[in-house]
Chains A and B, each alone.
Chain A
Amino acid sequence: MAYRVDSPYAVVDLSSGRIDYDRTPEPVVRKLFSGRGLNMYYLYKYLRPGTDAFDPDNPLIFGTGLLTGTPSPSPSRMNVTFKSPESGIIGDGNIGGHFGARLRSAGFDRLIFLGRADKPVYVLAEDGQLSIHDGSFLVGLDSQQKQEALRQQLGTDIQVATIGQSGEKLVRFACVRNGLKASARCGGGAVMGSKNLLAIAARGKQRPGFDNKEFIRVGMENKQYLYTSKVIRVLGTVGTAFLYDTSNHLGAIRTHNSMLNFFDDTLNAEEIEEQVDKMVSCFGCSVHCRHKNNQGGEGPEYSTTVLIGPNIGISGADKIVTLNNICNDLGFDTSSVGSILSWAFELYERGVIDKETTGGLELRFGDFELVKDLLYMIDRREGFGDVLAEGTYAWRTFGKESLDYLIAIKGLPQSDPHDVRYIKSFALGIAVASRGADHLRNRPTLEILELPAEVTKQLYGAETNPDMTAYDTKEYVVKFSEDIYAVGDALGICRFVTQGFNSPHMIDWERFSALIEQNSGWKYDADQLREVATNILNLERMINMREGISRADDTLPKRYFDDPMPGRLTKGHKIDREEFAGMLTRYYRLRGWNDEGVPPKQVVDELNALVQPEVPLVVEEEAAVAAG
């Protein structure tokens, strides 16, 4: 039995072709684990503040979790990290599928790409070695075609992380693809394209943790525990699609760019199910939450269903599947492209933009053929598609008034399909999420259960107000979620089996501890795991602060403050500015930051000493205020 207590990685300078092999020292791994944690370590180390996202100096980091590819439950996840071309701050995507496990099989926990190749290339990871190859035959292919072309060239035992033409064309919300899965958020595919890196292929025979019988037993025990969950059973039957009905009933679905909050019944789970051939899973996962649809693709996830359905006015499960598959093949983040389209449609409806801007196109909600055309135009950056391909930066064409109608935070379109004006902790969560408007960083889903205070004390370490529409105590539920999700990301465990995201059960601190001990021989209790989360969250705050982020950026789309929700159970709800400000301040204090959202100098100095970045963040002594 061999523990993996340090972390093998390689730094590839695509400009010179130089490859350096190294290992992250164990003391660093102990503080941040791997995955998202170590990715932030290397982003902070290598990124110079102010670097343009498409500058060759923007580091692009593929990092697997500490438990990725091991006998742990749902251990497929890895993170792709960079400076985002959508937001100009942390860019960080998370992907399941099989690439992460295969990269570890090839002998690498992490690949760091710097520079820009002078011609299109792909990189092969195999038996602890990397090689750079001509990738010109991949140019112009979509993400599925690229994977197939590489399988034909290298064999079917490879797994590939790649991009569509959209990445090559620097569409700001282009994603990284493996199989039919995506590291969707923040535009990592465009950064990959900017480096002329069209694909990474990996193969190998290492199977971390599978030489440890006790690890296999503990992993199996956790999987059997998960099987007892109703939530897991439903996810394995219909995937996330069943969420639509409830949310729509509540009136919490983003509809027509959040001018509305409910839609028709054509996208309920049973309608989506008619488009599904079977359910499929990622590496080592017992949940099987993904649809293999009858049009040859995977999905749609519930988020995608809403963002390219009600949000842009499209009815009908068959149409949603078609749009989902197009987005996947082209390599788009469906959250971003859906939000950008709905934004443009509303702007046109309001007269903020006209045919002069759209190149003669008449934009309207619910026009399926128009949406299809626009997706291909974005992919090729043709006509108005070239404007939309700029993502939230399209405001530079649309004008400043357009920003009043943009559903985005820190430049990143909102991924949460829910209208967050009703559940106030959801609003706080997307406001402070380190990569912009995103629900997967910290959404405290359990708020929907309205659990009594005595129960929330068990979960969150504090009694909280069970009223999901209240503002008080919501900092506790957001921090709890943020902490456990950060550790899950650093371990490479899927969010769907992490406590808090879908259920009060699932893999909790104690179960994480047992798995870490089997993997590394390290003993961590819940408090120590929360310290790892704190290290990651502080590091992310420091990276963003170095890019100019401050309290003023931790806010919400204007509509959420100004416009009440129009219908159903949630009717009349909006966010009160003063209450929101109080909630934000309480969150900062709970994090140990001052009222401007600045971590204490001592914390900053310690993390600077750990990472030793080229350009460390400097905070003044007086900026630090003791935790409230």
Chain B
Amino acid sequence: MKVTVRLGEPLWRTVGQRRVEIEAPGDQLALPDLVERLEAAYPKLREELGAAGEADPTSLDYHFTFFLKDRMVKPHDMATERVGDGEEVMIVLPMAGG
């Protein structure tokens, strides 16, 4: 299977491109596994993402937000959410600024 990952600020600067493709066996991939493969393919992302794939949803640590199939994945659902072949995941730093 192949998943497209669209990287928001500041992640894309680390790899130099806005979209990267991640390949994996099977037809579904849990989001923490996707993050693991992403970090393996782009080691510099590991520092940026921190523990994004396994973030403690009860901590005040700053989470990146994942959009999957045009909806936002809630922190509590990160571990169970799965992405399928050909789908796109967007990872952004959630802010609303001014």
**Which residues of A are at the interface with B, using a C-beta cutoff of 8 A?**
229-231, 233-235, 237-238, 240, 242-243, 245-247, 249-250, 269-270, 301-303, 418, 439-440, 443, 445, 448-452, 454-455, 458-459, 466, 495-496, 501-505, 568-569
Contact = CB atoms under 8 A, between A and B. Distances in A.
B57 A230 contact: no
Nearest to B63: A449
Contacts of A495: 98
B93 A231 contact: yes
B9 interface: yes
B78 to A, nearest CB: 11
B59 interface: yes
B60 A455 contact: yes
A234 B60 contact: no
Contact of A504 (B13, B62, B93): B62
Given A233-B10, A235-B97, 11 more contacts: A234-B9, A237-B9, A418-B96, A445-B96, A449-B94, A452-B76, A455-B58, A455-B59, A502-B96, A504-B62, A569-B70
Contact of A234 (B10, B72, B74, B75): B10
A249 B96 contact: no
B95 A448 contact: yes
B59 to A, nearest CB: 7
A237 B95 contact: no
Interface of A is mostly: helix
Interface of B: 8-10, 13, 18, 48, 57-60, 62-63, 65, 67, 70-72, 74-76, 90, 92-98
A454 B58 contact: yes
B13 A237 contact: yes
Contacts of A231: 62, 93, 95
Contacts of B63: 449
A213 to B, nearest CB: 32
A233 B92 CA distance: 14
Most buried by A among B60, B72, B74, B90: B60
A301 B18 CA distance: 22
B57 A452 contact: yes
B9 A503 contact: no
Given A449-B65, A569-B71, A301 B59 contact: no
A451 B62 CA distance: 10
A246 B60 CA distance: 21
Contacts of A502: 95-97
Contacts of B90: 249
A504 B95 contact: no
A233 B10 CA distance: 8
Contact of A445 (B59, B72, B74, B95): B95
B62 A230 contact: yes
B98 A230 contact: no
Nearest to B97: A240
B58 to A, nearest CB: 5
Given A230-B93, A246-B94, A505 B57 contact: no
A301 B98 contact: yes
A581 to B, nearest CB: 25
A479 B89 CA distance: 34
B98 A496 contact: yes
A44 B90 CA distance: 49
A240 B70 CA distance: 23
Most buried by B among A270, A301, A451, A454: A451
Contacts of A230: 10, 48, 62, 93
Nearest to A418: B96
A240 B95 CA distance: 9
Contacts of B58: 452, 454-455
A397 to B, nearest CB: 31
A496 B94 CA distance: 14
A458 B60 contact: yes
A495 B98 CA distance: 9
13 contacts: A230-B48, A230-B62, A234-B10, A234-B93, A238-B9, A240-B97, A243-B95, A302-B98, A443-B96, A448-B96, A450-B75, A455-B58, A569-B70
A134 to B, nearest CB: 38
A175 to B, nearest CB: 15
Contacts of A242: 8-10, 93, 95
A234 B13 CA distance: 10
B9 A448 contact: no
